[in-house]
Amino acid sequence: MVYIQNLCFDSKLCIEIVNDKNMMMNKDNLYSVIYQDIQDAFAEIQQLTQDQHLCAIGLGMVEDFCGFFYVGCTLEQLKTFEDVYEAWWISEWSCSSTANNRVHDAITALYQDLGEDYTDEQYSELQAHYQKTIIQALQDLRLQGKLKNQQGEEIIVIIQYADSSDEDFEDISFPQINPEFLVPLFENRFQKKAGENLYDYLLEKSAS
């Protein structure tokens, strides 16, 4: 800190250098926090549904920079939904985890690093970084075999903006964090053709 200040003749420049350094450190911290938080939430949901067949977990986000909520859906609950639209609105899933405060603190720190006079471009860049970090953490967990249910099956993961502020992100992120064979079923999730959408696929799977 003292060394940086000795090199700076402009106090405003010194502050900017320190802020940039803090942001880099906070960005590095964001990944590890998200990675661990998802693991903890998944373990909690697994425990809560140990007598059921967990098939999916959802990460719920909103437009503001804050933590996200975690929910899980079992095959048993899936059968209770009246239609495919209700089934894939993750706020309707009944099993929820309490693990979210650490992510909230980490992303809030990065948002505060922007300062009061941040630009729209800086805000968008941070939002993109947040989304990419979540995807990266989920990809790594998937590759490491840490997103499987008690039956040894790959868990479906859906990231959804609960306030519909970024409806495209759900579709963009799904192929990046789920097994390839599920992608066309997810794309057809609202089509009522037996066996050709994710809802019917899972129901058929539960009946077998």
DSSP calls for 137-163: HHHHHHHTT-SB-TTSPBPEEEEEETT
Residue with structure tokens 């903890």? 40
Residue 90 has pLDDT above 90, yes or no: yes
Q: What share of the chain is helix, strand, coil (3-state, %, to 5)?
A: 60, 10, 30
Put simply, whether the predicted model's pTM sits higher than 0.75 gets the answer: yes
Is 80 exceeded by the pLDDT of residue 87?
yes
pLDDT digits (tens, 9 = 90+) for 113-125: 999 999 999 999 9
* Between residues 203 and 38, the one the model is more confident about: 38
Mean pLDDT of 17-25: 50
pLDDT classification of 27: cutoffs 50, 70, 90: confident
Q: Measured between alpha carbons, how far is 38 from 36 in angstroms, rounded to an integer?
A: 6
User: pLDDT band for position 204 (50/70/90)?
Assistant: confident
Q: Packing angle between helix 120-143 and helix 168-177, nearest 10 degrees?
A: 30
Q: Taking a C-beta distance cutoff of 8 angstroms, is the pair 202, 55 a contact?
A: yes
